[in-house]
Amino acid sequence: MHKARKCFGQNFLIDNRIIDRIVATIAPKHDDNLLEIGPGQGAITLPLLDYVEQLNVIEIDRNLISMLESLKHPNLIIHQGDVLKFDLNTLPAPIRVIGNLPYNISSSVLFHLLENLDKIKDMTFMLQKEVVERMAANNGSKIYGRLSVMMQTFFDVQMIFIVPPESFNPAPRVESAIVHLNPLTQAKTKDIKVLEKVVKLAFSQRRKTLRNCLKSILTQEQTDIDLSQRAEMLTIDDFITLTQDHEKQH
């Protein structure tokens, strides 16, 4: 029996009703190019194998890999390694990404996938509920921040349902939630890097005004956005405007 390892943030899903709901949310088609991040003990992997021609999975824990290999599933392709270093170009596109993301690296994984947006059809994740709430938060809310802006600029973010701690072993101390990310047909900007720079600076000191946070890259004369506000008041479109105004200075 595999014991969950803290260093990889492992909590294994053991609730069959929840597993069925996740598979129904993904609604896999036979020829989908599915990529599962962190298959763990295969709770979602195994049911998905019944639907698709092939399933690629990325797993960092060698013990779990041996366990998955012992299943001898011809349509399961296992990649050992760190998802943050994984080259998505090696997979057939467009990719549907799924996974139960460990809480300690969920933001890093989301940003890594964002940089590969052109290859992604959609994403369905289980995350800590508060991370999903931050992703879906509206401006003006206390939890609206960098993650909200970056995700909503490129995706329609939908919290699908909540997963209680007792659905896992070991039970985490927090609730989880299933989120579906559907890329917007018209992304609001192409320039992820510049947007990320502006957004990161804007939220770097939440209590300060934008004039303070952005002074190294933008002055009030260079934009129509009122910089006496705090970052959390701005809409997604306001951030796009700020990014464009910043780019005009070069």
Query: How far lies 240's CA from each of 21, 197, 206, 246, in Å?
Result: 36, 12, 19, 10
Q: Record the pTM.
A: 0.91
- The runs of H, that is alpha helices, within the chain are 16-26, 45-49, 62-69, 106-114, 129-136, 146-154, 192-202, 210-213, 236-248
Residues 100 and 125: beta-carbon distance below 8 Å: yes
Domains annotated on the chain, with CATH: 6-183 (3.40.50.150), 192-248 (1.10.8.100)
The reply to whether 182 sits in an annotated binding site is no
Task: Flag whether 13 is marked binding.
Answer: yes
- Is residue 33 a known part of a binding site? no
Tens-binned pLDDT, residue by residue, of the chain (250 aa):
445 444 444 578 889 999 999 999 999 999 999 999 999 889 999 999 999 999 999 999 899 999 999 988 999 999 999 999 999 999 999 999 999 887 778 889 999 999 999 999 999 999 999 999 999 999 999 999 999 999 999 999 999 999 999 998 888 888 999 999 999 998 888 889 999 999 999 999 999 999 999 999 999 999 999 999 999 999 999 999 999 999 999 7
How far is it, in rounded angstroms, from Cα 70 to Cα 176?
29
Tokens coding 218? 């933008």
User: Is 82 annotated in some ligand binding site?
Assistant: yes
> Is 59 a known ligand-binding residue?
yes
Cα separation, 96 vs 123, in Å, equals: 6
